[in-house]
């Protein structure tokens, strides 16, 4: 169970770095490499110890990250960006999802981040080779290019992010990609 609980890891500057398991977060805390920023409502207990699981931790050392990210355009990353959910009906089909071009390739649609979404087979067949208007369908969210691999990971944990991560993430209007905003009580930029 503890391996399924995820914790947001912030750099020393409060910039989101990645998401780790609660077990890894506890190891970082007890080894003195990180400090608690936000606690979750979950508690684990052992015969001699009770630990409140963190929701957000901050590293004590600054980790330098590359300024430019390269992100592979592939089915796995598209499904991850869309949280393994059909962007037409909202069903979470897992591995049964396909990739659909919002504007079909036969009508000039390109195979790019902004024109490709995950879709269940039923919705993909229903839409077929038509535009959204012709098929009388709507997208749940507009497809966008993720800013970095971290943003793909954050999209996958968007439900857990509501627990305390939102202070450190600012979402764009489509709700797909996050950018660093720093803690609310401090404005660093």
Residue of higher predicted confidence among 170 and 24: 24
pLDDT tens digits, 61-118 = 999 877 666 788 999 899 888 888 899 998 886 668 999 999 999 999 999 999 999 9
- Structural domain includes residue 188: no
- Structural domain includes residue 69: no
This prediction has a pTM of 0.62
Question: What is the spatial distance between Cα 33 and Cα 180, in angstroms, rounded to a whole number?
Answer: 22
- Structural domain includes residue 187: no
Domain count, the chain: 2
CATH code of the domain containing 125: 1.10.30.50
40 pairs with which residues across the strands?
none
Q: Are residues 124 and 94 in the same domain?
A: yes
The average pLDDT across 154-162 equals 60
- Structural domain includes residue 82: yes
What is the percent of the chain with per-residue pLDDT over 70, rounded to a whole number? 79
Residue of higher predicted confidence among 120 and 164: 120
Phi, psi of 176 (to 5 degrees): -95, -40
Q: Are residues 94 and 123 in the same domain?
A: yes
- Structural domain includes residue 166: yes
pLDDT at 133 over 90: yes
The average pLDDT across 130-140 equals 93
pLDDT of residue 94: 63
- Structural domain includes residue 185: no
pLDDT at 176 over 80: no
Q: Are residues 92 and 115 in the same domain?
A: yes
pLDDT at 49 over 80: yes
pLDDT tens digits, 6-35 = 899 999 988 888 889 999 999 999 999 999
SS3 sequence, the chain? CCCCCEEEEECCCCCEEEEEEHHHHHHHHHCCCEEEEEEEEEEEEECCEEEEEEEEEEECCCCCCCCCCCCCCCHHHHHHHCCCCCCCCCCCCHHHCEEEECCCHHHCCCCCHHHEEEECHHHHHHHCCCCHHHHCCCCCCCCCCCCCHHHHHHHHCHHHHCCCCHHHEEECCCCCCEEECCCCCCCCC
Q: Are residues 151 and 107 in the same domain?
A: no
| Structural domain boundaries enclosing 18 | 6-64+147-180
Q: Are residues 84 and 176 in the same domain?
A: no
Question: What is the spatial distance between Cα 94 and Cα 173, in angstroms, rounded to a whole number?
Answer: 25
116 pairs with which residues across the strands?
101
- Structural domain includes residue 189: no
Q: Are residues 119 and 151 in the same domain?
A: no
- Structural domain includes residue 167: yes
Q: Are residues 45 and 95 in the same domain?
A: no
158 pairs with which residues across the strands?
none
Give every CB contact of residue 185 below 8 A, 6+ residues apart in sequence.
none
Q: Are residues 52 and 96 in the same domain?
A: no
């Amino acid at each position: 169970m503890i391996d399924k609980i995820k914790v947001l890891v912030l750099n020393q500057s409060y910039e989101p770095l990645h998401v780790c398991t609660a077990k890894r977060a506890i190891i970082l805390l007890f080894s003195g490499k990180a400090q608690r920023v936000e606690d979750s409502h979950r508690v684990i207990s052992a015969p001699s110890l009770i630990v409140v699981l963190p929701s957000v931790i901050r590293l004590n050392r600054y980790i330098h990250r590359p300024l430019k990210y390269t992100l592979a355009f592939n089915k796995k990353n598209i499904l991850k960006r869309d949280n393994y959910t059909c962007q037409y009906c909202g069903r979470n089909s897992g591995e049964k999802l396909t990739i659909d071009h919002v504007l079909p390739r036969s009508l000039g649609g390109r195979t790019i981040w902004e024109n490709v979404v995950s879709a269940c087979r039923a919705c993909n067949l229903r839409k077929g080779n038509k535009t959204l208007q012709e098929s009388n369908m709507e997208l749940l969210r507009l497809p966008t290019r993720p800013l970095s691999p971290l943003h793909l990971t954050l999209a996958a944990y968007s439900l857990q992010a509501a627990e305390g991560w939102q202070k450190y993430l600012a979402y764009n209007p489509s709700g797909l990609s996050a950018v660093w905003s720093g803690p609310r009580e401090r404005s660093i930029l």
